[in-house]
Chain A
Amino acid sequence: MSKKWKPVAVNPDEADDFELEPDTIEPDVETPVQPQQKASSTQAQQQSQGQGGSSSFFNFSNFVSPNIDLSQSFNPLLKNEQVREHAFTGGDTLDEPVWKTLERDFKAIGQRLLSVMWPASLSKLAKIQQHNLLIAARNSGINVGINFDQLGQDLEQDIANTPLDDSDLKKLAWDLWGPLLFTLVFAVILGLMSPEANSSEVFSGVFAIVWSTLAVIAVNIQLLGGTISFFNALSTTGYAMFPLLLLAITSIFIKWSFIRFILYVILVAWSVYAATVNLKVHGVLPGRVFLAIYPVGLVYATLGWLCVIT
């Protein structure tokens, strides 16, 4: 919102200076301690003792706080959702007038919608973001299966010509207003076009299915790594549903299935393209964009097909 998003700032020149310092492990020369003291020692100390293989007799606190740390197993899932909190240090927005709050949110929604309606406007930004992510991935040792040097040379010239503009990146703030309205209208249209008897079942079924599949997709995208968060992925895939909404609206008026099918192909392709560009901008790792977009394409194709056959 108020804090501008900045791309991953990694200087490629510093990448070569990256070296591992050897860990200096102190030998475990601790004198045997009383059990009472041991029970009150911190968990970190217990872990170091366990690794050192020192005197480890029955210790009650091992049952209370076991040394096996399961959080490592869920690391890929939790990585992006680690919560830090800090106090707001920018200007005072607590006393701003209500219309200013409204205006800011409407502008953010408009930017987001624009990025879906005209994805090509983001393509340059996507290129730069992908380049930055590639450098960051290389520096942190993630293999994305792309020859860096070749791609880097292609992109370096582009980036030299077009300096990064921060103002383009502020549309990265996610919101769920668009997805909410899109799924509501989409479900209403499908519900009203189905037979009268079960229209409410169709409506709530479509609504629930769209949201749950979007959530599953967002988890998938987040697990693939990169700097995208769960809600950002949810928002991105939800906003990219906009062409499907157009498809649903046109299917009210056009009953001829051949034209419906042509529209289906065009609009689903548009949706998938918009989602691809937006996901690239919001931080999916370069070699994994296809893995991220594949289930999204399947869901869009299925949802679009509902509009064709209804």
Chain B
Amino acid sequence: MSEPQTFTDRIKQSSHPLALLFFLGFRIGAPVAYALGMFFTKSFILEFITVILLLAADFWNVKNISGRLLVGLRWWNETDDNGESIWVFETANPDRQINPVDSNIFWFWLYLTPFVWGVMGILAFLKLEFLSLILVIIGLTLTIINTMAFTRCDKFGKANDLASSVFGTVSGSMFGRLVPSFFRGNQ
């Protein structure tokens, strides 16, 4: 995967090109709409709604569509009879071939977007734009939830061979040190 490839080459190698395009569209769309929104519209309300809806769509899309099509993982949270919250992790059959292009792009953007939102949060705080900070906090929360849940799902199932994915191993182990033990495992 180290040789340079154009974007269209990567899309052509993908097993689920449409899912990949939607994934990238929502993933990148929300931060871009946040960063460049004020160049296109003077209305803060319009920008706010656009970013919120893009974020919600991205959250739902990653959780329900991209995860299972691109890397064969799915997570959700349900409540049992006693009101305890249960994380359910579903992983694909190990025999199932995971396309490395799909997998690399998925994990790369899964870990990158929380950092992007974090940087924009620091910028918004330094510029004292507290209205925008609401958006950044929402974006940070939604992206981090997905990142942690998929990281746990992946560790839980071990369906995906992380060693083959450079981004997965590096950022996965780094992330493991950063996240609280609550999300890391069941010890």
Query: Are B89 and A229 interface neighbours, CB within 8 A?
Result: no
Interface presence of A226 (CB below 8 A): yes
Cβ contact within 8 Å between B85 and A80: yes
Asked if A6 lies at the interface with its beta carbon under 8 angstroms from chain B, I say: yes
A297: Cβ under 8 A from any B Cβ: no
Quick one: which of A1, A81, A191, A229 contacts B45, CB cutoff 8 A?
Answer: A191
Cβ-neighbour of A82 out of B78, B84, B156 (below 8 A): B84
Task: Give the complex CA separation of A192 and B72 in angstroms.
Answer: 44
Complex CA–CA separation, A192 to B44 (angstroms): 12
A11 within 8 A of B: no
Q: Please tell me which one of the listed residues B49, B65, B87, B131 contacts residue A85 in the complex, with CB atoms under 8 A apart.
A: B87
CB of B48 to closest CB in A, whole Å: 6
- Complex CA distance for A231 and B72, rounded to whole angstroms: 26
A203 beta carbon closer than 8 Å to chain B: yes
A152 CB to closest chain B CB (Å) equals 20
A39-47, A86-94, A256-264, A299-307 - the one binding chain B:
A86-94
A184 at the interface (CB under 8 A from B): yes
Q: How far is the CA of A80 from the CA of B92 in the complex (A)?
A: 30
Q: CB < 8 Å: which of A87, A191, A200, A208 contacts B91?
A: A87
B residues less than 8 Å from A79 (CB atoms): 83
Contact status A204-B134, CB under 8 Å: yes
A144 CB to closest chain B CB (Å) equals 15
Q: Which residues of A contact B85 (CB under 8 A)?
A: 80-84, 229, 231
Other-chain residue from B60, B65, B76 in contact with A1 (beta carbon distance below 8 A): B76
Q: Which residues of B contact A207 (CB under 8 A)?
A: 48, 134
**A-side contacts of B2, CB under 8 Å:** none
Q: How far is the CA of A232 from the CA of B80 in the complex (A)?
A: 12
Chain A residue numbers with a CB within 8 Å of B6 are none
A188 and B49 contact, CB distance less than 8 A: yes
In the complex, how many angstroms separate the beta carbon of A181 from the nearest chain B beta carbon? 9
Interface band, chain B:
35 or more
Interface string of A179-222 (1 = CB under 8 A from B): 01000100010011000000111011001100000000000000
State the CA gap A86–B157 with chains docked (Å): 10
Q: Are A88 and B89 in contact (CB under 8 A)?
A: yes
Residues in chain A near residue B27, CB distance under 8 A: none
* Closest B residue by C-beta to A187: B45
Residues of B near A87 (CB, < 8 A) are: 88-91, 156-157
CB of B9 within 8 A of chain A?
no
Bound complex: CA of A80 vs CA of B80, how far in Å?
10
Contacts of A228 in B (CB 8 A): 83
Residue interface mask B47-60, A partner, CB < 8 A = 1: 01100110010001
CA distance A86 to B83 in the complex (A): 16
Cβ–Cβ contact B83 & A85, under 8 A: no
Instruction: Return the contact of B56 from the options A105, A180, A204 (Cβ within 8 A).
Output: A180
- Chain A residues numbered 1-34 whose CB sits less than 8 Å from any CB in chain B: 1, 3, 5-9
Question: Does A1 lie within 8 Å of B157, measured CB to CB?
Answer: no
Identify the interface centre among B53, B65, B89, B131: most chain A CB within 10 Å of its CB. B131
Provide a sorted-by-A list of 16 A–B residue pairs whose CB atoms are within 8 angstroms.
A3-B88, A5-B79, A6-B81, A83-B85, A84-B186, A86-B88, A87-B157, A93-B68, A94-B92, A180-B56, A199-B45, A200-B45, A204-B134, A227-B79, A228-B83, A229-B79
A residues touching B (Cβ–Cβ < 8 Å)? 1, 3, 5-9, 79-88, 93-95, 98, 101, 105, 172-174, 177, 180, 184, 188, 191-192, 199-201, 203-204, 207-208, 226-229, 231-232, 283
* Contacts A85-B87, A85-B152, A173-B78 known; 8 new A-B pairs at CB < 8 A: A7-B81, A88-B88, A172-B79, A184-B49, A199-B45, A204-B48, A226-B83, A232-B79
Residues in chain B within 8 A of chain A (CB atoms): 43-45, 48-49, 52-53, 56, 60, 64-65, 68, 72, 74, 76-92, 131, 134, 152, 156-157, 182, 186
